[in-house]
Amino acid sequence: MAFDVFNGDADGLSALVQWRLAHPESNTLITGVKRDIALVKQVPPTGEQVTVMDISMAKNQAALTALLASGTHVFYADHHQSGPIPDSPLLDAHIHTSANTCTALIIDRLLHGRYREWALVGAYGDNLYRTAETLARQSGLETAKRDRLERLGHYLNYNSYGASLDDLIMPPAILYRHLCGFDTPDDFMRAYPDIVLSLAEAYQSDRENADALVPETTGDGGQVYLLPDAAWARRISGMLGNQLANQDPDSAHAVLTPTPSGDWMASIRAPLNRPTSAVQLAEQFATGGGRAPRRARSMHCRLPTYQHLPRRLWHILPHSGSAIPRPSRYHSLKRLGTCVAACNPANY
């Protein structure tokens, strides 16, 4: 059996769509919400061929090693931290951790731009606006088409955020099955205007809710937003982080959203104008992972309860040596604000 394992966001979807257009196969899909990144362990050891897109190798080392040991051939493309890459003739790894790339662009290079518009959807969705615009202009795409690709990228990425598949507008596996038969995003949008409209309307509604929010706490060079315990908030959390980063590219931001299980989803954005490491912060938590250590711009992870936030976060990033406050909700947010501000190199 063969398996396609991929992140359910715009980047993972766009990367796999390109690859399967070039190498048509109808494989068993393994995916989930954006923060579902320990996916390789779901592949049974009887798999003969596994394709992995936009999933941190560092978070899947044990499962990957087991697959290789069982004789499984693995194609692996990703832009997150990899950790040690196994030395195996069965592994075809394409790992690039530059802050200005994503998995869809890695596949675009491997395919020599054959499905460039899908790659741009992934790049726009992954908040690589400058990179995507430059590549789109070099490809001769007019403004109207660039705008359509950008919007679709935002919709696909927005649809990936949630505590579980129940929060999403459409499960990523089903969405992929609709995307994968079309050479261009425009072909897909003409064939399935109802899907595009459904995503667009939900995205706009959730954005209007988010636009009414104000920062819970603000520090020197950083802000923390606290969202309510609601499906719309979990869906919009990552896109809100992108929006805040683009609106204020000199500041770091964190968006915290409670989940039904009692922990917290966190989207962390280092300043776009001075990208530095958010990896140290997010990788302390189970679902954290990201780009190159010194240049990571956006991170996603799950955090424990407020009572654990100060000590877990305060020891990760530089600080002035102040005493750790009592673990209250207010002080936890203030301390997190300090840690987020520490993602800003202007404060060093």
In a domain, 47, yes or no: yes
Tens-place pLDDT, residues 26-52: 999 999 999 888 999 999 988 799 999
Residue 163: pLDDT over 60: yes
In a domain, 103, yes or no: yes
Tens-place pLDDT, residues 323-348: 323 333 434 444 444 444 444 444 33
Among 143, 171, 201, which residue terminates a domain? 201
Mean pLDDT, rounded, for 241-267: 83
Residue among 32, 37, 33, 27 nearest 57 (CA): 37
Same domain for 70 and 161, yes or no, is yes
Same domain for 195 and 218, yes or no, is no
Which neighbouring-strand residues pair with 271? Answer: none
Tens-place pLDDT, residues 293-327: 333 344 445 554 444 443 333 333 333 333 323 33
Residue 2: pLDDT over 50: yes
Mean pLDDT, rounded, for 270-293: 56
Identify the domain containing residue 308 by its residue range: 214-347
Same domain for 61 and 186, yes or no, is yes
In a domain, 208, yes or no: no
Among 136, 169, 201, which residue terminates a domain? 201
In a domain, 209, yes or no: no
Among 201, 223, 253, which residue terminates a domain? 201
Q: What is the CATH number of the domain that holds 226?
A: 3.10.310.40
Own/partner pairs, 57-66, CB within 8 angstroms, 24+ separation = 57/81, 57/82, 57/83, 57/85, 57/93, 57/95, 58/82, 58/83, 58/289, 59/287, 59/289, 61/86, 63/38, 64/40, 64/91
Same domain for 49 and 82, yes or no, is yes
In a domain, 272, yes or no: yes
**pLDDT for the residue 329:** 41
Same domain for 115 and 180, yes or no, is yes
Q: pLDDT band for position 282 (50/70/90)?
A: low
Same domain for 333 and 230, yes or no, is yes
Mean pLDDT, rounded, for 271-292: 56
Same domain for 180 and 259, yes or no, is no
Q: pLDDT band for position 260 (50/70/90)?
A: confident
3-state DSSP assignment of residue 321? coil
How many separate domains does the chain show? 2
In a domain, 236, yes or no: yes
Same domain for 306 and 172, yes or no, is no
* Full-model pTM: 0.81
Residue 165: pLDDT over 70: yes
In a domain, 195, yes or no: yes
In a domain, 82, yes or no: yes
3-state DSSP assignment of residue 323? coil
Same domain for 27 and 147, yes or no, is yes
Tens-place pLDDT, residues 202-235: 999 999 999 999 988 877 677 888 899 999 999 9
**What is the Cβ-side half-sphere exposure of residue 10, based on CA atoms within 13 angstroms?**
29
Same domain for 122 and 32, yes or no, is yes
Range in 44-58, 66-80, 192-206, 220-234 the model is least confident about: 220-234
**pLDDT for the residue 283:** 56
Calculate what percentage of the chain has a pLDDT beyond 90. Answer: 59
**pLDDT for the residue 297:** 44
Tens-place pLDDT, residues 129-148: 999 999 999 999 999 999 99
Chain-wide mean pLDDT for the chain? Answer: 82
Same domain for 337 and 268, yes or no, is yes
Same domain for 9 and 150, yes or no, is yes
Calculate what percentage of the chain has a pLDDT beyond 70. Answer: 78
Q: What is the CATH number of the domain that holds 171?
A: 3.90.1640
Name the strand (E) or helix (H) holding 6: strand 2-6
Own/partner pairs, 75-78, CB within 8 angstroms, 24+ separation = 75/49, 75/50, 75/51, 76/52, 77/15, 77/19, 77/52, 77/53, 77/103, 77/106, 77/107, 77/110, 78/52, 78/53, 78/54, 78/103, 78/106
Q: pLDDT band for position 150 (50/70/90)?
A: very high
The interaxial angle of helices 116-125 and 10-22, nearest 10 deg, is 170
